[in-house]
Structure 1
Amino acid sequence: MHTAAAETVQPCPECGTEIRTDARFTTWCAACDWNVDPERAEEKRGRLARARRAQARRHGERLLAELSAGGNLSAHRDTSSILAVALSLVVHALTLAVTAGDVWFLVTGWGGWGMIPGIFLLALAWSLRPRFDGLPKDTPVLRRADAPELFALVDEIARVAGTRGVDAIAVDNRINASVASYGVRGRRLLTLGLPLWEALTPQQRIALLGHEMGHYVNGDTRHGRVVAAAFRSLITWHYYFEPVDHEPLDDTGALMLLLNVLYVLPRLLVRGILTLLDQLTLRATQRAEYLADRVAARAGSTEAALELMDHLLIADSAAVTLRREVNLAALSGPRRTGASADLTDGLWERLAADLASVPEHERDRQRRAGVLRGHSVDDSHPPTHLRHACLLIGEPAPPAVTTDTEREHRIAGELAAARARVARQIIRDGY
């Protein structure tokens, strides 16, 4: 098991204040914020990405101000959401027009040259069709019969959120968790990333599940079927208009060059519509995250929800630990033989111990750096420090759902096979 590095003490080169250092983490000063964010991740982002992150931050700040003033965020059908749905319907109308066009060409040109554009449009319409996601094929998927205790816990938390539970639970190697719908009937899928799940306390896990169940009741326009399908169609269109590689001196290359020139305007149009749809749904998506955080606090307690956010700030440490485990396994022996089973023993316990050993001064640095760079899980989420502030509005919520040691052991037993399989995948395939 990995142990924490010994701490040393040195003066700050800026203000002279005594600072504690740990060889595993960045040396910084809490008194003057010297070296608090040496990576300056925001500077590495492209101009458009920085603009989008700034827009997300502005939306997050406005929503937090509304909440602080006693506003109600539950009314999710605002003007932007309505416009997003309307724009999505226009996108779907284009798909229907392509479908109607291919039917017309095939019917009127059957047996003749008209079949060529008909077949082309048929293939295009097929690629643009609405799709229903299925269950993941490369990760363990649990049904109710496989994990009755875990599903019962999810059901209990779902009742707190005001919704029903899920139909399947997938387990993967991401430092994350998510919910989605699958199949024509819109069944519910919860995906648990073991590197996150294994690092949390039981109450923090309840808060995590509460957050995910909250997404089923918060009216996130972007993840509704109409808008989500429009995003997928637009991304497909954009792919078709991507520039084609070509050799300028070749005859075929000249044709590809001409196609690239012709693609410029359609590509810009599709990108513009994608950007507009993104902007129209960004506020609703951020509102959904705030509301999901409130469900997390109701289910697991405000304290557990806040601690969960702190874990997200040190997600990079979890990734570093897993990469180190992969490297150690590679040095210890072949990863694709039976020996790999021994190398995965205790992986999750070592990961949890490593994250638990992250000192408070490093967690504090991550919080301050997160404020400076507007850290968020991704560009669709409000900055983490704003979500943190939102949970502190009003009285702290006590836990509505609790668990005990016996229940935790039963859930761990239900996840045992998935834990072993995901650990083998990480050691075998890398991280």
Structure 2
Amino acid sequence: MPVHEDHVVWCRACDWNVAPELFVFGLDRTAERRAEVAGQRAEEVYQELVRTGDFGRRSRWTAARIAAYALSCGVVGASVGLAGGAVALLVTGWWNPLSLSLGLALLFFSAVLRPWVPPLHPELPTLDRQAAPRLFALLDKVAREVGTRGVDLVVLEPGFNAYVTSRRPRQRLLCVGLTLWETLTPQQRVALLGHELGHFTNGDTRHGLVVGNALGTLAWWRHWLDPGRWRGGRLRYWFGHGVLRWPWYAADGLLRLIDRLSLRDATRAEFLADELAARTASSEAAHGLTERLLHADRAVEALDALLMDGLLDWRRKPWREAARAALDLPDHERERLLRVSQLKWHYEDDTHPPTHLRLALAEQRAYDEPRVTCTRQQAEAIDRELARAIAAVAARGPLRMRRK
């Protein structure tokens, strides 16, 4: 058995000591439930894609997807309906105090419950094409390869994550976590961009304008309608628990329903995005990207410890070296962590299939030649574009390596 300092000694032949913590504590109830739910859905999709090989197709129009779109349109229609009813009462009953009061109340609620787009974080730099032309040139090249339009804004944050979203009908946003970005090779960065832009190509509802904004709007409604916010006096308590209680239940239930309906296609959408990443950047790059996500917790914990102890300034080069060193593991340890992920059914969040299935599916198709390449010189030029934005974030104070 290979012995590496600071790493677990285990046997590849019989899995002895592959996960010491599981032998002592076992899987908790949450992990068991995740394994059951994820296994039922992800295994079905995995076997289907391996059997049929139709990786590149868009997500299907299932009954759940149609219902999620219909309910999401209803969220927008509710605000429009309230505003229309308010205007009708104010115009037709302006002489009636009751109609006037009710119209003003409906107008107020329609303004509060309007479709909500979360604002950009004021302390995080937002880049456009003029600020980062080389980065956007790479994004456009990847977008053309995956068959979609590029993004309009790029937001940088210190987390170990990346995601895309549609804020307005013609505005797409890409958020890149710098901790993840710095640990990737140039070609793995292409795979990351291919995966995220692939969500637009495959029709992933949760990243789209309709369902994605509906989920955000309902979360906003649930926040402001929460009866617990109305404390400090009998009148406030009566208003919160007597008037807002049932609207809060409706918003919370609708949010859970749309979230559950849209999650049915999320597993397939993630597999398809992985396929587009492999086709764009090569299977090796896509496999390396997914494996990086498998070890994300290790990198975040190591960097958090160094930053809290004051041993690291993430504005400087040593931070980048420490981020990469946190994931510089011997092959024997990488294999062990992969087997542990199979036991724990590791995945990024509830929208992602188990990581070991993503890695297994990536090995089913061999894309040896990348269709979009990023040389080391191009990567260094992009880093120079991002340097000023990174310094602007770090200048605002110490930042933790959040993971989403």
Give the TM interval when normalised to the shorter protein. 0.7 to 0.9
Q: Which residue of 2 aligns with 1:63?
A: 45
Q: Which residue of 2 aligns with 1:4?
A: none
Aligned CA distance change for structure 1 residues 116 and 360 (closer, same or farther; 3 Å): farther
Q: Which residue of 2 aligns with 1:392?
A: 363
Distance in 2, Cα, partners of 1:359 & 1:54: 31
1:7-22 maps to which residues of 2 (within 5 A)? Answer: 18=1, 20=3, 22=5
Q: Which residue of 2 aligns with 1:162?
A: 147
Which is worse superposed, 226-235 or 27-36?
27-36
2:76 to 92, 95, 99: 92
One-letter code of the match for 1:302?
S
Distance in 1, Cα, partners of 2:351 & 2:318: 32
Per-residue displacement from partner, 1:166-192 (whole Å, max 9, x unpaired)?
22222111101122233x442222222
Q: CA deviation at 1:268?
A: 4.5
Q: Which residue of 1 aligns with 2:128?
A: 143
Distance in 1, Cα, partners of 2:136 & 2:230: 54
2:301 to 311, 320, 343: 320
Q: Residues 56 and 380 of structure 1 are in contact (CA less than 8 Å); yes or no, is this contact kept in structure 2?
A: no
Q: CA deviation at 1:345?
A: 2.4
1:295 to 276, 286, 296: 276
Aligned CA distance change for structure 1 residues 170 and 233 (closer, same or farther; 3 Å): closer
Q: Which residue of 1 aligns with 2:377?
A: 406
Distance in 2, Cα, partners of 1:345 & 1:290: 36
Distance in 2, Cα, partners of 1:230 & 1:50: 31
Q: Which residue of 2 aligns with 1:214?
A: 198
SS of equivalent to 1:69: helix
Q: Which runs of 5+ in 2 are unaligned?
A: none
One-letter code of the match for 2:205?
T
Distance in 1, Cα, partners of 2:314 & 2:184: 23
1:36 to 19, 39, 46: 19
Which is worse superposed, 213-222 or 193-202?
213-222
Q: Residues 203 and 403 of structure 1 are in contact (CA less than 8 Å); yes or no, is this contact kept in structure 2?
A: yes
One-letter code of the match for 2:115?
P
1:119 to 104, 111, 130: 104
Q: CA deviation at 1:208?
A: 0.8
Distance in 1, Cα, partners of 2:240 & 2:129: 52
1:31-430 maps to which residues of 2 (within 5 A)? Answer: 31-34=14-17, 36=19, 38=21, 43=28, 45=30, 54-70=36-52, 72=54, 73-107=57-91, 108-109=93-94, 112-133=97-118, 135-182=120-167, 184-244=168-228, 252=234, 256=237, 260=241, 267-329=248-310, 344-425=315-396, 428-430=398-400
Q: CA deviation at 1:194?
A: 0.9
Q: How many residues align?
A: 395
One-letter code of the match for 1:306?
H
Matched residues, percent identical? 36
Q: Residues 245 and 256 of structure 1 are in contact (CA less than 8 Å); yes or no, is this contact kept in structure 2?
A: no
Q: Residues 281 and 373 of structure 2 are in contact (CA less than 8 Å); yes or no, is this contact kept in structure 1?
A: yes
Distance in 2, Cα, partners of 1:127 & 1:226: 19
Question: Aligned Cα RMSD in Å?
Answer: 3.2
One-letter code of the match for 1:127?
V
One-letter code of the match for 1:147?
A
Which is worse superposed, 384-393 or 222-231?
222-231
Aligned CA distance change for structure 1 residues 106 and 266 (closer, same or farther; 3 Å): same
Which is worse superposed, 202-211 or 369-378?
369-378
Q: CA deviation at 1:257?
A: 7.5
Q: Which runs of 5+ in 1 are unaligned?
A: 1-17, 333-339
Distance in 2, Cα, partners of 1:321 & 1:256: 46
Aligned CA distance change for structure 1 residues 167 and 112 (closer, same or farther; 3 Å): same
Q: Residues 11 and 17 of structure 2 are in contact (CA less than 8 Å); yes or no, is this contact kept in structure 1?
A: yes
Q: CA deviation at 1:67?
A: 0.6
Aligned CA distance change for structure 1 residues 51 and 409 (closer, same or farther; 3 Å): same
Which is worse superposed, 377-386 or 387-396?
387-396
Which is worse superposed, 344-353 or 408-417?
344-353
SS of equivalent to 1:191: strand
